[in-house]
Structure 1
Amino acid sequence: MNYDVIIIGGGAAGMMAAGIAAAKSDSVLLLEKNPILGKKLFLTGKGRCNLTNLTTVENLIAHTVVNGKFLRNAYFKFNAEDTVKFFEELGLKTKIERGNRVFPKSDKSSDVIKYLKKYLIKNNIKIINQAAVDVTKKDNLFVVELQKRKLFSHKLILATGGRSYTLTGSTGDGHKFAEKFGHTIRQLKPSLVPIETIPAWNAVIDKLKLKNVKIKIIHHNKVVFKDFGEMEICGSTVSGPVILSASSYLKNVKNHQLIIDLKPGLTEKQLDERLIREFNQASQTKISKILNRIIPLKLKPVMLELAGIDPGEKCGEIAKSKRKQLGYSLKNLKVELSDFRSFDEAIITSGGICVDEIDPRTMESKIVKDLYFAGEIIDVDALTGGFNLQIAWSTAYTAGVSC
């Protein structure tokens, strides 16, 4: 059977691209290898679905870590305000939370999928699930082989996503298809992902959340990343917003050192003055009790060990050198990093189809006419906060409207 447009991939980008393409094409087919559409979308934002970040195009570009400028045209064609308007017109009520993050009012990603499905049905898009396919091109037509059948289309949009969240069926099939068509695939790596450490003091820490900390990552005595915010320590793994951001910027973390500043609002001198004040006011009190006012309970034995202080030692008896070491450790808590966690735990995939081979005005391949790309399959990725879904919406809109 012949179609005007076939879209492979029924995630966020695929559903959007299909709906937009249907506005000017009579026959549109959406293929998804999972039994349901939007399987990965269902998990985004911890099940709440952070639809976008309601900010300017320039800020969208600034928060796109890889190849942000490539997306300028797509962002201007379909920006964050357009995303909110699009979903509101579908009937989905939205709300804005801290950091301009937009969520469905219901806090349910399933509602986002529900309204996208209604959008597809309204536009008479044929959907085939559990559709594992292969793709070639012959005589100006794309040939999609599906369960011993051959489907033909004049235009093809690949929106198969990356390799993150492999449990949702993400295997990087689209990259293999793109390679067959002559495209270059930039190295794929997990991104927005927790980082493994070389177990040391942190090995005994279980699920410790740290707020308002400053981190920096050192490689060969050079600061390669720094940030301020929240993080989490779970034994030999570090995670949380600042760590996920670090995983976006860094290509690898082997031989890198993470330094955590637990008291970023104080200089080392000011922190030492506070410790002196605390110790003088409670000179006969055991240090372990005083530390409860300064650091999280789970870190207390770690700090005492790093400073060489006995938990039963009274504040008035602690040597100046040990007090100084305690202050230093509070400002410079060190963790040796070893590797990123796997694609199973990654929110997105870094790497993908080389943007030099895609027309940024249309998302059409520069190598194969009438072949388009949308979403995570492209070598673009951004920070958390709704920015990656905006990439999906913007590139999908651009591809769909260009077909």
Structure 2
Amino acid sequence: MATVLIIGAGAAGLFCAGAAVRAGHQVTVLEHMPRPGRKILVTGKGRCNLTNACEPDEFLKHVRRNPRFLYSALSACPPSFVMQLFEQQLAVPLKVERGRRVFPQSDRAQDILDALLRWAEGATILFTGAKSLLLEDGVCKGVELVNGQKLRADWVVVATGGVSYPVTGSTGDGYRLARQAGHTVVPPEPSLVSLVEDGNVCKRMMGLPLRNVELTLYEGKKVLFREMGEMLFTHFGVSGPLVLSASAHIRDMKKYSYRLSVDLKPALSFEKLEKRIDSDFLQFAGKEAKSCLDKLLPASMRPVMLEKWGVEPDKKVNQITRAERRALCELLKAFPIALKEKGDLQHAVITSGGVQVREVDPKTMQSKCCPGLAFAGEVLDVDAYTGGYNLGIAFATAYAAAMHMEERRE
């Protein structure tokens, strides 16, 4: 039996704690926030998309950074294992939605957090922070708490998360501890984040959700991302599942030029959309142009589209030329959104960057720099697109850390 200290009571920390307890270890979890798992409660808009119902090989296709690092961990703890654990052992009925996204049937993230706390029963949770690692001759022997108390342990697992949503407790402490142990930390940046527009077009449609649209992200003329789904106009730009996924493909916005294009009618080819518009225009023949979009678009989008279209609002519909009709089709199939920058880390779903994975054993999550130290979850330089993949990574890396506590003791 090993004594284990886990820093962080989020998804990775609690999952690691439960697995370590079942492996026969004595486990203590340190949490510097007043309550555990606060970030879990805000995932999936409060519903908690806990994994993705796919095979490991398919899962890895959706990992943005360092997917090969996760091969062993995901093989040992695939989504099917996580789903079975929650449903059969922790009594949380699950459901699979569009894109294979897995949610609790109750649509309550609290049910997932409660289940993780049940899974971690047998571990002691101390609500205090870690000031530093106890290092002796290059070996991690425990943790010094913020109050100066020293806790010794055979293993320390850093599962502190990144720096996104700091109000939930992700304050980057894990990076500081990793550096203390000699690790390289890839500078964190926001990923899966809303995008700020260059202009005020989106602001005029603030609060408008779009469903079943196709979003394309361009870097110059190159297509980086294209997918159907949902998005939302905000007071600063765009957000929603499609936008968050697209944001993960963006590199340096000061160096490269990025823009979005929205196909508002992806189910219709350009030719079929033209016929649809011709039919609508016949019905509105005697009316003004400002009325001809009533069947095509939501109310808050019509004045914006009319302005971009460039047709005089008072022009009679039966006077609109063929070229003007084609221009409207082009706008409906490729509504442009200029981009200025990403949203900030405080509002990012996850952090891109973290502990350099070349310095971590991919099978055990143990440090190659400092015996007695391991990592799990978002603190590592591994991240994925939306769809339950990031929580899946947290569970897989946490399980790997818990299952190999005694393999590399020196």
- Find out whether 1:137 has 2:135 as its counterpart: yes
What percentage of aligned pairs have identical amino acids? 38
Task: Spell out structure 1 runs of 4+ moving beyond 4 A.
Answer: none
Larger displacement relative to structure 2 (77-86 or 288-297):
288-297
What per-residue deviation string (whole Å, max 9, x for no partner) do you get for residues 357-383 of structure 1?
111111111121221110011111112
Cα drift, residue 327 of structure 1:
2.0
Partner Cα separation in structure 2 for residue 17 and residue 240 of structure 1: 30
Q: Give unpaired runs (5+ residues) of structure 2.
A: 406-410
Equivalent runs, 1:139-154 vs 2, <5 Å: 139=137, 140-146=139-145, 147-154=147-154
Cα drift, residue 68 of structure 1:
1.6
Partner Cα separation in structure 2 for residue 92 and residue 23 of structure 1: 18
Q: What is the DSSP-based 3-state SS (H/G/I as helix, E as strand, rest coil) of the residue aligned with 1:130?
A: coil
Counterpart code for 2:10: G
**1:309 aligned residue (308, 311, 316):** 311
Partner of 2:334: 332
What per-residue deviation string (whole Å, max 9, x for no partner) do you get for residues 168-225 of structure 1?
1211110111112121112211111100011243231121111222222222322222
Partner of 2:408: none
Partner Cα separation in structure 2 for residue 266 and residue 54 of structure 1: 30
Cα drift, residue 398 of structure 1:
0.5
Counterpart code for 2:303: P
Partner Cα separation in structure 1 for residue 125 and residue 14 of structure 2: 10
Partner of 2:192: 192
Distance change (3 Å), C-alpha of 1:369 and 1:132: closer
Distance change (3 Å), C-alpha of 1:84 and 1:223: closer
Partner of 1:246: 246
Q: What is the DSSP-based 3-state SS (H/G/I as helix, E as strand, rest coil) of the residue aligned with 1:110?
A: helix
Partner Cα separation in structure 1 for residue 279 and residue 400 of structure 2: 61
After superposition, the CA RMSD in angstroms is 2.0
Partner of 2:346: 344
Cα drift, residue 117 of structure 1:
2.1
Q: What is the DSSP-based 3-state SS (H/G/I as helix, E as strand, rest coil) of the residue aligned with 2:293?
A: helix
Q: Give unpaired runs (5+ residues) of structure 1.
A: none
Cα drift, residue 281 of structure 1:
4.0
Whether the 8 Å contact between 2:377 and 2:397 is mirrored in structure 1 is: yes
Q: What is the DSSP-based 3-state SS (H/G/I as helix, E as strand, rest coil) of the residue aligned with 1:238?
A: strand
Q: What is the DSSP-based 3-state SS (H/G/I as helix, E as strand, rest coil) of the residue aligned with 1:87?
A: helix
Partner Cα separation in structure 2 for residue 51 and residue 220 of structure 1: 35
What is the TM-score when the length of structure 1 is the normalising length? 0.93
Counterpart code for 1:189: E
Q: What is the DSSP-based 3-state SS (H/G/I as helix, E as strand, rest coil) of the residue aligned with 1:359?
A: coil
Partner of 2:79: 80
Partner of 1:117: 117
Whether the 8 Å contact between 2:7 and 2:130 is mirrored in structure 1 is: no
Whether the 8 Å contact between 2:77 and 2:395 is mirrored in structure 1 is: yes
Counterpart code for 2:199: P
Cα drift, residue 141 of structure 1:
4.4
Equivalent runs, 1:12-161 vs 2, <5 Å: 12-99=11-98, 100-121=100-121, 123=122, 125-139=123-137, 140-146=139-145, 147-161=147-161
Partner Cα separation in structure 2 for residue 153 and residue 161 of structure 1: 21
Q: What is the DSSP-based 3-state SS (H/G/I as helix, E as strand, rest coil) of the residue aligned with 1:102?
A: strand
Partner Cα separation in structure 1 for residue 140 and residue 204 of structure 2: 59
Whether the 8 Å contact between 1:164 and 1:348 is mirrored in structure 2 is: yes
Partner Cα separation in structure 1 for residue 25 and residue 215 of structure 2: 53
What is the TM-score when the length of structure 2 is the normalising length? 0.92
Distance change (3 Å), C-alpha of 1:296 and 1:186: same
Cα drift, residue 349 of structure 1:
0.8
Partner Cα separation in structure 2 for residue 78 and residue 344 of structure 1: 30
Whether the 8 Å contact between 1:307 and 1:323 is mirrored in structure 2 is: no
Q: What is the DSSP-based 3-state SS (H/G/I as helix, E as strand, rest coil) of the residue aligned with 1:364?
A: coil
Distance change (3 Å), C-alpha of 1:103 and 1:227: closer
